[in-house]
Amino acid sequence: MSDINKSITKFKAKDREITNLQKLMELPVTTNRELIELESKFSDRKLLWTNMEKFNKSSEEWFNNPFKDLNCEEIEMEMKNFSNSNVLLKSRIQNLSSTGSDKVLDTFIIEIK
């Protein structure tokens, strides 16, 4: 993920450089829609991957720790956060993908149910 993030940062810097040159030469400033879309898709997927990683770590702790040591209020809050984040991600990804779904998100939603 960090490699992708570094590449996006480089592309954004080049895009700003092009924009500055367009302004300097008094040309119409263009927007790089592909870069904006790539950044949006990546940030949503990054949030999805981060949530999935957190969920897997938390669920492993829940299953491997003694039942009496579990804090049900904390678990409930975490599950609500995962669920709310998934609803937001699902709407964003549906707007971005051509099929209206994302296999990784769908798998994660099934896991938390």
The predicted structure's pLDDT at residue 88: 81
Type of residue at 6 = K
Q: Which tokens is 6 given?
A: 């570094």
Asked if 39 and 8 count as a contact pair (C-beta separation under 8 A), the reply is yes
Q: Rounded to an integer, what distance in angstroms lies between the CA atom of residue 72 and that of residue 99?
A: 37
Q: What is the pLDDT of residue 20?
A: 94
Cα gap 86→108, rounded to integer Å: 8
**CB proximity list for 58: less than 8 A, separation 6 or greater:** 75, 78
* Res 96: pLDDT: 53
Residues 6+ apart with CB under 8 A from 82: 51, 54, 55, 112
Which residue bears the tokens 């991957």? 49
Give Dmax (Cα) for the chain: 69
In order along the chain (113 residues), what is the average pLDDT of each group of 10 residues?
82 92 92 83 82 89 88 90 83 62 61 59
Give the H/E segment covering residue 93.
helix 72-96
φ, ψ of residue 26 in degrees (nearest 5) = 55, 40
pLDDT of residue 28: 93
pLDDT at 70: 87
Residue 36 has a pLDDT of 84
